Amino acid sequence: MGAGPDSCYGLSMLILGIETTCDETAAAVVHRREDGEGEIRSNVIHSQLLEHRDYGGVVPEIAARAHVELLDTVIRRAMDRAGARFSQLDAIAAAAGPGLIGGVIVGLTTAKAIALVARKPLIAVNHLEAHALTIRLTHRIGFPYLLLLVSGGHTQLISVEDVGRYRYIGGTVDDAIGEAYDKTAKMLSLPYPGGPEVERRAAFGDPRRFSLPRPMIGRPEPNFSLSGLKTAIRIEAEKLGALTDDNIADLCASFQAAVVDIVVDRVRVALGLLRNSAWKPRALVVAGGVGANRTIRSALQTVTSDAGTPLMLPPPELCTDNGAMIAWAGAERLVRGMVDSLDTSPRSRWPLGQDAAA
């Protein structure tokens, strides 16, 4: 694993990372070596899928209560698996937002308590920044690079120019891609979590059966729109009446084909805009839960190959929410002297790019 050729060298550190922004209760211990290389010592994730399944989505109050009940145990397991004591840590990092505010409060408050008792620095990490920097834990890459952040709550194209320096290139004007996947699944009465289920059903369907819109394709600015596609799926489903397995598979395949076409076009436009700029990207990096989608990954490989820009992808288990990405972002900030006070507030909204919509 590598931190990148332009990392700060000469400092070794051990960081505990805590993630509670949505429905994963997670903690991890990451070691940053003197040469800038990173090593995941432990990465414990407790998914709350069972707690939310009956509701077809994440219920904020249930998520916050589960974080309260689970977090101490998850942290203890992470520390035990890493063979570490709190006294050996160099800092405590926690996701301070954006996310469901109840969960964010639980994780940040716990991190503050540990930092206070263990007399260690606190690092309040932007959850989106953690996604943006994960690739530097797993690959050797320097700045700048273009980030496609795709998840249930976010669809953005960000120029990652340094730690703490992010430029918004484009994003969704309505629904996020992950949200569109989940809502499509709900309309088709598929089990929760919906996104992976849509991808699974799509593999057995005909992507040409339904003619669905591709909003924003061909536009000169690299923005996304998914609400019209979602509405089109609902209309087609209502026309069918009976949703047989074949109908569902074809709808999922047609939906996913439209999403892939949109993503490919939008990324191609963004790469074109940056190609001759002072911040020409060294790579396209994909992060966020939708980044684990194999069909989207494969399509982006073609785009980057055509553009002569490498595609870099974290392993699927680091695309979804986890504590290792929080710990690594904490290390990236700590090595640059970026620490936070114990009165740092949790944030439900926290855009990366200065001009990004909150």
Judge contact between 352 and 139, C-beta under 8 A.
Answer: no
pLDDT tier, 4 (very low <50, low <70, confident <90, very high otherwise): very low
CB-side neighbour CA atoms (13 Å) of 164: 12
Q: Enumerate residues 6+ apart whose C-beta is below 8 A from 177.
A: 150, 151, 155, 224, 226, 259, 263, 290
Peptide bond between residue 207 and the one before it cis (omega within 30 degrees of 0): no
How confident is the model at residue 218, as a pLDDT? 94
How confident is the model at residue 264, as a pLDDT? 97
- Hunting for tokens 């990954």 — which residue is that? 297
Average confidence score pLDDT of the chain: 93
How confident is the model at residue 2, as a pLDDT? 42
Average pLDDT estimate for 35-63: 91
**30 pLDDT exceeds 60?**
yes
Average pLDDT estimate for 278-301: 92
Q: pLDDT digits over 343-358, tens only? A: 999 999 999 864 333 3
pLDDT tier, 7 (very low <50, low <70, confident <90, very high otherwise): very low
Judge contact between 95 and 22, C-beta under 8 A.
Answer: no
Average pLDDT estimate for 199-217: 97
pLDDT tier, 153 (very low <50, low <70, confident <90, very high otherwise): confident
Picking from 115, 95, 93, 114, the residue whose alpha carbon sits closest to that of residue 20 is 95
Domains of the chain plus CATH, in order, are: 13-139+317-334 (3.30.420.40), 145-313 (3.30.420.40)
How confident is the model at residue 152, as a pLDDT? 77
How confident is the model at residue 9, as a pLDDT? 56
**101 pLDDT exceeds 70?**
yes
**123 pLDDT exceeds 80?**
yes
Q: pLDDT digits over 158-167, tens only? A: 999 999 999 9
More confident residue, 238 or 1: 238
**85 pLDDT exceeds 70?**
yes
**3 pLDDT exceeds 60?**
no
CA distance 57 to 213: 26
Q: Say how many residues make up the chain.
A: 358
Q: pTM score > 0.85 for this model?
A: yes
Q: pLDDT digits over 227-266, tens only? A: 999 999 999 999 998 899 999 999 999 999 999 999 999 9
**114 pLDDT exceeds 50?**
yes
How confident is the model at residue 8, as a pLDDT? 53
Average pLDDT estimate for 252-281: 96
Give the distance, in angstroms, between the CA of residue 202 and the centroid of all CA atoms in the same chain.
22
How confident is the model at residue 355, as a pLDDT? 39
Average pLDDT estimate for 44-62: 90
How confident is the model at residue 162, as a pLDDT? 96
CA distance 97 to 224: 23
Q: Are strands 91-97 and 122-126 parallel, antiparallel or unpaired?
A: parallel
